[in-house]
Amino acid sequence: MNRDAALELIKEILAETVPGADPTVLSPDENFRDILEMDSLDFLNLIEALSGRTGLPLPETDYPSLSTLIGCADYIAARTSPP
């Protein structure tokens, strides 16, 4: 999956899993957990949905990389694109 496809997937999952979230208002490098006022359960729902849709394991040690749109998209693209 390329970065643009990963970004669209993340926005879609944010809209589905976070009540009232509008991912179109987010800047790529903003911490969306803060901007969308996500609690830990919202974030875990996002992580589970991302893992389920991408087939990637998303260990807790990588959560800091998954808190911005760009960071999350880069993370997913790097792990799902062929070498």
Cα–Cα distance, 83 to 20 (Å, whole number) = 37
Only one residue has tokens 């040690």, namely 61
In the predicted model, residues of the chain with pLDDT beneath 70 are 83
Three-class DSSP category at 31: strand
pLDDT tens-digit series, residues 55-75: 999 999 999 999 999 999 999
CATH 1.10.1200.10 at 3-80, yes or no = yes
Answer yes or no: are the C-beta atoms of 73 and 3 closer than 8 Å: yes
Count each helix (H run) and each strand (E run) in the chain, helices first: 4, 0
Question: What residue segments make up the domains of the chain, in order of their start?
Answer: 3-80
